[in-house]
Structure 1
Amino acid sequence: MPHVFRPEHAMRLIAVERARLLPADRVLDALDVQTHHDVIDIGAGPGYFALPLARRTRGKVHAVDLSPEMLQMLSERAREAGVSIEAHQASAEHLPLEDASVDRALMAFVLHEVPDRQAAVREVRRVLREKGRFLLLEWDKRPMDMGPPVEERLSVDECEALLTGEGFRILHRIYPNDVHYGLVAERGE
């Protein structure tokens, strides 16, 4: 069973050090969110990416997380920031949205924790509209002083194969720093 990030460490996810390493707005530029887009952040935690997403669109922003504590923190932060986010307690394998209901999807540093990764990617494809975009962020698969154990990480090639196997077309890779990578993919027909 993979290591799952624990709610008591939530402050690490919104710390200044993380913002320096992984500037949310710069990373989200790769997703190309337009003002009318509906968006989902899967594994949203306390809203590190969900809040900036909500500032980019007038569409609905859905935040999904397994942890009620994380969702409570996210809701409080959204209220303080004056943005609207719909919080859903659910797993990545069972997203509580209708088919083809969002234009953009984000899953940041979650897929390596998901027991059924193929089902999770299939769910993202299900909720995305045709030509919708998916940004998958993960840890580089090599030893380092931060992040999950290296044996639980997924290589960029493994993730790319998983996405293409589930009907996504890879648009490009991003490298926001020297420890993370991202894949920007589009939902095929």
Structure 2
Amino acid sequence: MAGSRFNPNDADKLISTERKELIPSNKVIEMLDLSKNDTVADLGAGNGYFTIPIAKGMKKPVYAVDIESKMLGMLKEKAVEEQIDNINYVVSDLENIQLDKGLVNKALIAFVIHEVPNLDKALCEIKRILKPEGQLLLLEWEAVETEIGPPFHEKIPSEKMGELLRENGFDIEVTHLNSAIYVITAKAV
């Protein structure tokens, strides 16, 4: 199932004008239904497209988790520029997330899950780091032909992702941001 990993040398694509129009960060963050006292993990944080605006509104630390230390370095530079000091940077894959059990009550994973070799293990790990009744917001590319996103064969259909989440102990709700992107709100049960 795992696709090829995103190349950090292409990080500018993650903050392009086209991407901002297709995936408005404020709209996605609203879907997380955050309060200032939530503890949040951005899994596959990359260069901070979602992490920075989330951290701006939070009292508690935001955990930026990414397998690529280079991406986290870019995120750290942006955070320093914007005088944001409540981000904890965690180099980790998603099959063995380097966070404590029950640490966060909200987690975001955006456009990364298709790169994970063992989805069941990653979903189990996400559930492990969530507090009871914690919420996951998962964004992924729908299995349709588009000019953006990973190649078609790497995309995971929303129906299949929903099934995997249910099998791993989540209650889910599936919506679409647009025809190319689905959003799954999942609560650990």
TM-score (norm 2): 0.96
Residues 156-167 of structure 1: matches in 2 within 5 Å? 156-167=158-169
The residue aligned with 2:155 is 153
The residue aligned with 2:128 is 126
- Partner-residue secondary structure (3-state), 2:45: coil
Q: What do the CA deviations read for 1:57-78 (whole angstroms, capped 9, x no partner)?
A: 2111001111111010000111
Question: Match of 1:89, as an amino acid?
Answer: V
Question: Match of 1:168, as an amino acid?
Answer: F
- Partner-residue secondary structure (3-state), 1:8: helix
- Partner-residue secondary structure (3-state), 2:76: helix
Question: Is 1:63 aligned with 2:59?
Answer: no
Query: What is the alpha-carbon distance in structure 2 between the residues aligned to residue 177 and residue 91 of structure 1?
Result: 28
Query: What is the alpha-carbon distance in structure 1 between the residues aligned to residue 106 and residue 182 of structure 2?
Result: 18
Return the offset for 1:3: 1.3
The residue aligned with 1:31 is 32
The residue aligned with 1:185 is 186
Unaligned segments of structure 2, at least 5 residues: none
Query: What is the alpha-carbon distance in structure 2 between the residues aligned to residue 71 and residue 165 of structure 1?
Result: 31
Return the offset for 1:80: 1.2
| Moved >6 Å (runs of 4+) | none
The residue aligned with 2:111 is 109
Return the offset for 1:112: 0.5
Residues 13-92 of structure 1: matches in 2 within 5 Å? 13-83=14-84, 84-92=86-94
Task: Tell me how large the CA RMSD over aligned residues is.
Answer: 1.0
Identity of aligned residues (%): 36
Query: What is the alpha-carbon distance in structure 2 between the residues aligned to residue 94 and residue 81 of structure 1?
Result: 30
Return the offset for 1:56: 2.6
Return the offset for 1:173: 2.1
Question: Match of 2:158, as an amino acid?
Answer: V
Q: What do the CA deviations read for 1:144-183 (whole angstroms, capped 9, x no partner)?
A: 111111111101011111111111111x223222211110
Question: Match of 2:123, as an amino acid?
Answer: V
**8 Å CA contact retained: 2:43, 2:65:** yes
Instruction: Identify which range, 52-61 or 3-12, moves more after superposition.
Output: 52-61
Instruction: Identify which range, 52-61 or 134-143, moves more after superposition.
Output: 52-61
Query: What is the alpha-carbon distance in structure 2 between the residues aligned to residue 73 and residue 93 of structure 1?
Result: 23
The residue aligned with 1:174 is 175
Query: What is the alpha-carbon distance in structure 1 between the residues aligned to residue 55 and residue 175 of structure 2?
Result: 22
- Partner-residue secondary structure (3-state), 1:176: strand
TM-score (norm 1): 0.96
Question: Match of 2:147, as an amino acid?
Answer: D
- Partner-residue secondary structure (3-state), 2:160: helix
- Partner-residue secondary structure (3-state), 1:175: strand
- Partner-residue secondary structure (3-state), 1:33: coil
**8 Å CA contact retained: 2:162, 2:174:** no
Q: What do the CA deviations read for 1:96-140 (whole angstroms, capped 9, x no partner)?
A: 111100010011001100001111111110000011100011001
Return the offset for 1:82: 1.8
